[in-house]
Chains A and B, each alone.
Chain A
Amino acid sequence: MVKKSVTYKNIYNQYKNLVFNLALQYCQNRQDAEEITQDVFVKIFDKWQTFRKDADLKTWIYRITINQSLDFLKYKQRKKRSFIISLLSSDSSYKENLLPDFDHPGILMEQDESLKILMQKIYRLPKNQKTVIILLKIEGLTQREVAEIMKLSEGAVESLFQRAKTSLKKIL
């Protein structure tokens, strides 16, 4: 039991910043990022026995973090939507207005308004496009690494990236 606890602590220490910062890029809010980080590590510890030790641990952790972050965003948007629908008679533009409670310490520190605006646009991208932008441009991964994490070909990643850039231009 002590040995298992040491392993979990090691995994946590090694990957805590990766998980937290990745979650932060998705939810753009410190509190939510902490909650997602907890969910991710509980899941990692839970599934540790079934994890194939010959597979890449970092890739696996990336995937869990991305999935948990996207699930969290979906849950949060559903909660907001049901509240807003109850107030509004027409739902024509509510989707565009579902912006995060922006509290991204990594951006607020820079006091860069254009960076904040860009992140808010990224927040509104479809999930795959959002993921590819975050992994390529914020996490600084190579296309090959992104392809492995997203289980796509490198060509598909590039195509997704181009579509994401086009979408960002369209978002007002």
Chain B
Amino acid sequence: MELDNLDILKNIKRIEVPDALYHTIECRFEKNRENNIPILKVGIAASFVIGLMLAQFYFLGFSSEINQFNNEIELVEVNNNSLYYE
């Protein structure tokens, strides 16, 4: 077979698509659209979660500052020898 002459490929017949195919495509497309979660709603939910996490980190940091302050107070030596003098 002469591979230099690929013109033989022009003999391939074009085939008509069956009419029923459009209905199948339409149904698939509609189903895909129903299954897709809207990006806007996902964005709002994600922003809310991120906001909560940031708030949590902020308040955790704030409360750890308070704890640190309290710990520093406890480290300060308090001379209360009244127990031993009793």
Contacts and interface: CB of A to CB of B under 8 A. Distances in A.
A109 B14 CA distance: 10
A56 to B, nearest CB: 21
Interface in A128-147: 133, 137-138, 140
B13 A106 contact: yes
Nearest to B13: A106
Contact of A21 (B9, B15, B18, B29): B15
Contacts, number: 83
Interface in A78-127: 104-107, 109-110, 112, 114-115, 117-119
Contacts of A46: 29, 32
Contacts of A114: 1, 8
A37 B21 contact: yes
B25 A12 contact: yes
Contact of A45 (B13, B15, B29): B29
Chain B binding site: helix, strand, loop or mixed by DSSP? helix
Contacts of B17: 16-17, 20, 34, 37
B7 interface: yes
A76 interface: no
A52 interface: no
A165 B4 CA distance: 7
Given A38-B25, A38-B28, A137-B6, A106 B1 contact: no
Contact of B13 (A12, A109, A119): A109
29 contacts: A8-B26, A16-B22, A17-B15, A17-B17, A21-B15, A24-B15, A30-B15, A34-B21, A38-B24, A38-B25, A42-B28, A42-B29, A45-B25, A105-B15, A106-B12, A106-B14, A107-B13, A109-B13, A110-B11, A112-B11, A118-B1, A118-B6, A133-B6, A137-B6, A137-B7, A137-B9, A138-B9, A138-B12, A169-B3
Across chains A and B, which 5 residue pairs bring their CB atoms closest together, nearest first?
Answer: A106-B13, A137-B9, A16-B17, A106-B12, A20-B17
Interface of A: 8-9, 12, 16-17, 20-21, 24-25, 30, 34, 37-38, 41-42, 45-46, 104-107, 109-110, 112, 114-115, 117-119, 133, 137-138, 140, 165, 168-169
